[in-house]
Amino acid sequence: MNNPLLKDKVVLISGGTQGLGAGIALRAAAEGAAGVAVTGRNADAGETIAAELRKAGTESRYIKADLTDVEQARNSVLETIDAFGSLDCTVNAAGLTTRGTMLDTSPELFDAHIAVNLKSPFFIMSETIKHLRDRGAPGSIVNIISIAELGGQPYLAPYVAAKAGLAGLTRNAAHAHRWDKIRINGLDIGWTATDGEAETQKRFHGAGDDWLEKANASMPMGKLGQVDEIAEFVVFLLSQRSGVVTGSVIDWDQQVIGGSD
């Protein structure tokens, strides 16, 4: 590939063992990354993705991490640096999507959402930024947020609270570290077709095996968001090809916020 977007870069992807995170890992490798680390709780899935990346010619590591534990989140950055010698790009792609409303969310469920969807990205970003500053190196971070952070459905109350916090944090960190030449952006993704979403629809909404066909038919563009399309854009944002852009939280959806029929 001529001028690959991530040539010689080392990339860490939290939640990179499945779904969108795995798609981003594969795209980063395809765009010339020198090393890709993926984190997650499922060792089998993690080793499978790491092996696929190595087979494609990219050095890769699976790092087992339960992101409800902030120390494991922080250590995932340190283990990546130890494995590859440096870190250039980080993606916070892990997410908890269990349901809860204002009336039935327990303190435990709320805390779990904050831990995975806000606290772990905070400290993964913190460790990444410290490393980049110590090296005096530029770098980039992309946070996978959600269009729901702008309001969301009633059954996503704790999720919305955490993701709205992550959107604000993205802007705050980008502003704080722009003079370090560390670019930090976020994507407010909409409804996306993943294996994890299939499980969510069946578990929480009683969906059948034809859920995706029905969901696609209900969308203006005739399909849900696609992992490969989102992954391509994430890698673009990580790369120098996206220029000076920082502090942007970009809507990646076919729902137009504020629009009305």
In the chain the first and final C-alpha atoms are separated, in Å, by: 45
**Which residues, in sequence order, are bridge partners of residue 59?**
35
Annotation says 159 is catalytic: yes
Q: Where does 79-121 show beta strands of DSSP type E?
A: 89-92
Catalytic residue among 159, 163, 197, 238: 159
> Looking at residue 2, what is its pLDDT?
74
Question: Per-block average pLDDT, block size 10, for the chain (261 residues)?
Answer: 90 96 97 98 96 95 97 98 98 95 98 98 98 98 97 96 98 98 97 81 86 89 93 98 98 92 87
Tell me the CATH number of domain 10-190+227-252, given options 3.30.465.10, 3.10.450.230, 3.40.50.720, 1.10.645.10.
3.40.50.720
Crossing angle for the helix pair 43-55 and 19-30, to the nearest 10 degrees: 20
Q: Give the DSSP H or E segment for 183.
A: strand 182-189
> Looking at residue 1, what is its pLDDT?
60
Domain ranges for the chain = 10-190+227-252, 191-224
